Amino acid sequence: MWSTNTLWFEMAIVSIIFLLGNIFMGHFEERSPNWRKLVKYLVTVCIIVAISIFAGRTYAFILFGLAFIPVIYAHGILLPKKGINGWTGEPKSKYYEFRGWDKIFFK
């Protein structure tokens, strides 16, 4: 009945990771437009599925895993160097300045 030997498995894994990312780290993208978040998700799913089709599931998940290296670097090294908490994004004024977002929210 259940089979993990389909492309739906890859799509489910990518979707679950995006879901968890939005729940726990979504506050880092609060000012990003929704269309950009949707396009990011769709492009990621398409790339992972295409690699899975043409190179195999192992290579697809290796690439997906390697995509976390810049995220870990940004949240673990880059943001703390700028005086921003890599988990909470506080202080918000510094984070907004770092992203180049309008800080009218703080006035």
Whether 50 and 73 map to the same domain: the answer is: no
The confidence score (pLDDT) of residue 107 equals: 58
Whether 10 and 54 map to the same domain: the answer is: yes
Of the candidates 66, 43, 41, 61, which has an alpha carbon nearest to the alpha carbon of residue 51? Answer: 61
Whether 42 and 10 map to the same domain: the answer is: yes
Higher pLDDT pick, 6 / 3: 6
Helix (H), strand (E) counts: the chain: 6, 0
Whether 60 and 15 map to the same domain: the answer is: yes
The confidence score (pLDDT) of residue 26 equals: 82
Of the candidates 74, 24, 16, 6, which has an alpha carbon nearest to the alpha carbon of residue 44? Answer: 16
**What percentage of the chain carries pLDDT values higher than 70?**
94
Whether 75 and 59 map to the same domain: the answer is: no
Domain that holds residue 4: 1-66
Query: Could you read off the pLDDT of 32-58 as tens digits, one per residue?
Result: 889 999 999 999 999 999 999 999 999
Whether 48 and 77 map to the same domain: the answer is: no
Whether 55 and 3 map to the same domain: the answer is: yes
Confidence tier at 106 by pLDDT (50, 70, 90): low
